[in-house]
């Protein structure tokens, strides 16, 4: 009997399953870039590190249109300028094309270089629902050498929260007084609702003792700390993917549908600021992420 050139049925089924899975992974990566969970540079780094991965197999055309603000017209002009053929896959770019593409991305979406020296003032920020509080609580419990700042807030305590331990719960008048007296290192209104701020004196004491202070605060606060002390180390906590962030926000079940939509919109804007941070840590596992933050804070 003549040998058949068609692969056996099982192989074909397996191959088509793999193709479907690879397409799904590429779609997830594109979504992460479009929702700004990962920067275009990060996706390019992954593609070049592993050309056979879903990132590496992505066409340069799909890559570019996944970037916010790049439509098909702009994409074609960019490819022409960079002299990259539209059929190219990221993993198959030549070395000159890689450099050109990287330079183009860096020019449009700057990522700052991590500061050289270590600062003992460390800020942990990140989008809503990413799990900053859980990571910070883990550090507090397992890395007692790191002082976790206790913020002042105008919101009411939740069940189980202890004044002076989780927050200093103050009223508006007291918060105003602290701001006016310059007692806060930074302060902000979070989620358009309550005010939060970092008391300055405990941080100064910790730093004077040569110890490390960790601030788990929102993005506006992180920017104020950077202005007050440009040498501070800024760490941005990232979700493993956009879908996971949505899942965590919905899973928490503490917000209504409208509030959830608002927070997701906020999260997307917050994610867009990750380039301002010295380090990015992915919260794929609380213990692992907490250890990584603690290492950066040592
Ligand atoms: P929650 O009310 O759920 O404890 O915190 C809400 C948000 O307030 C979190 O995103 C947290 O990072 C932020 N936050 C807590 N303390 C401070 C602070 O001292 N300053 C600023 N800017 N944000 C804070």
Identify the sign of the CA torsion 240, 246, 250, 254: positive
Residue 282: CA count within 13 A, CB half-sphere: 10
More confident residue, 215 or 117: 215
* Confidence at residue 195, expressed as pLDDT on a 0 to 100 scale: 98
Q: Assess whether pLDDT exceeds 70 at residue 4.
A: no
Q: Which atom of ligand 1 is nearest to the CA of 188?
A: 22
Q: Phi-psi bin for 210: left (phi > 0), alpha (psi -120 to 50), beta? A: left
Select from 193, 218, 270 the residue to mutate for testing ligand 1; criterion: most ligand atoms less than 8 Å from CB. Answer: 218
The model's pTM is 0.86
Q: Assess whether pLDDT exceeds 60 at residue 246.
A: yes
* Confidence at residue 276, expressed as pLDDT on a 0 to 100 scale: 93
Query: Residue 218 Cα, ligand 1 centroid: separation in angstroms?
Result: 6
The whole-number average pLDDT for the span 285-294 is 97
The C-alpha angle 250, 276, 130, rounded to 5 degrees, equals: 15
Q: Which two tokens stand for residue 292?
A: 């990584």
Query: Residue 105 Cα, ligand 1 centroid: separation in angstroms?
Result: 32
Helix-helix angle 40-49:9-34, to 10 degrees: 150
* Confidence at residue 117, expressed as pLDDT on a 0 to 100 scale: 63
Q: What CA–CA distance (Å, rounded) separates 24 from 55?
A: 11
Q: How far is CA 119 from CA 10, 11, 59, 161, 206, in A?
A: 57, 55, 41, 30, 12
The rounded radius of gyration (Å) of the Cα atoms in the chain is: 23
* Confidence at residue 3, expressed as pLDDT on a 0 to 100 scale: 55
Q: pLDDT of 146-188, one tens digit each?
A: 999 999 999 999 999 999 999 999 999 999 999 999 999 999 9
Q: pLDDT of 223-239, one tens digit each?
A: 999 999 999 999 999 99
* Per-residue b or e along 49-66, where b marks 16 or more CB atoms closer than 10 Å to that residue's CB: eeeebbbbbbebbbbbbb
pLDDT band of residue 81 (cuts 50, 70, 90) is very high
Q: What CA–CA distance (Å, rounded) separates 290 from 138?
A: 6
The total of other beta-carbon atoms located within 10 Å of residue 95's CB is: 8
Query: Residue 196 Cα, ligand 1 centroid: separation in angstroms?
Result: 6
Q: pLDDT of 82-128, one tens digit each?
A: 999 999 999 999 999 999 999 999 998 888 776 666 679 999 999 98
**Atom 10 in ligand 1: residue holding the nearest Cα:** 218
* Confidence at residue 86, expressed as pLDDT on a 0 to 100 scale: 97
Q: Which residue, among 262, 288, 298, 278, has the nearest Cα to 127 in the 3D structure?
A: 262
Residue that the structure tokens 């906020």 belong to: 266
Share of the chain above pLDDT 90, in %: 81
- Does residue 223 line the site of ligand 1, with CB under 6 A? no
pLDDT band of residue 241 (cuts 50, 70, 90) is very high
**Atom 19 in ligand 1: residue holding the nearest Cα:** 197
Residue that the structure tokens 């992954």 belong to: 46
H/E stretch holding 272 reads none
The whole-number average pLDDT for the span 250-265 is 81
Q: Are strands 146-148 and 121-125 parallel, antiparallel or unpaired?
A: unpaired
- Does residue 244 line the site of ligand 1, with CB under 6 A? no
- Does residue 166 line the site of ligand 1, with CB under 6 A? no
- Does residue 217 line the site of ligand 1, with CB under 6 A? yes
- Does residue 198 line the site of ligand 1, with CB under 6 A? yes
Q: Which residue, among 200, 201, 190, has the nearest Cα to 228 in the 3D structure?
A: 200
Q: pLDDT of 7-33, one tens digit each?
A: 788 889 998 998 899 999 999 999 999
Share of the chain above pLDDT 70, in %: 96
Q: What is the residue-averaged pLDDT of the chain?
A: 92
């Amino acid at each position: 009997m003549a040998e058949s050139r068609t692969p056996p049925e099982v192989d074909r089924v397996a191959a088509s399953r793999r193709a479907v899975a690879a397409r799904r992974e590429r779609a997830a990566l594109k979504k992460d870039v479009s929702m700004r969970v990962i920067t275009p540079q990060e996706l390019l780094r992954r593609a070049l590190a592993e050309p056979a991965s879903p990132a590496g197999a992505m066409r340069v055309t799909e890559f570019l249109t996944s970037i916010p603000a790049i439509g098909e017209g702009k994409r074609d002009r960019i490819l022409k300028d960079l002299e990259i053929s539209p059929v190219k896959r990221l993993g198959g770019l030549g070395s000159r094309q890689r450099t050109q593409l990287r330079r183009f991305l860096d020019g449009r979406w700057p990522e700052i270089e991590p500061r050289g020296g270590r600062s003992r003032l460390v800020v942990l920020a990140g989008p809503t629902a990413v799990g900053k509080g859980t990571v910070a609580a883990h550090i507090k419990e397992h890395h007692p050498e790191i002082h976790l700042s206790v913020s002042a807030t105008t919101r009411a305590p939740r069940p189980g929260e202890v004044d002076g331990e989780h927050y200093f719960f103050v009223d508006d008048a007291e918060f105003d007084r602290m701001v006016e007296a310059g007692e806060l290192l930074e302060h902000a209104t979070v989620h358009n609702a309550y005010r939060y701020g970092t008391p300055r004196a405990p941080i100064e004491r910790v730093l004077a003792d040569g110890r490390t202070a960790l601030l788990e605060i929102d993005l506006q606060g992180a920017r104020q700390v950077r202005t007050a002390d440009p040498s501070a180390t800024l760490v941005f906590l990232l979700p493993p993917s956009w879908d996971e962030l949505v899942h965590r926000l919905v899973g928490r079940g503490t917000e209504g549908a409208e509030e959830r939509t608002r927070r997701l919109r906020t999260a997307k804007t917050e994610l867009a600021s990750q380039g301002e941070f010295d380090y990015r840590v992915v919260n794929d596992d609380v213990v692992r992420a907490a250890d990584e933050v603690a290492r950066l804070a040592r």
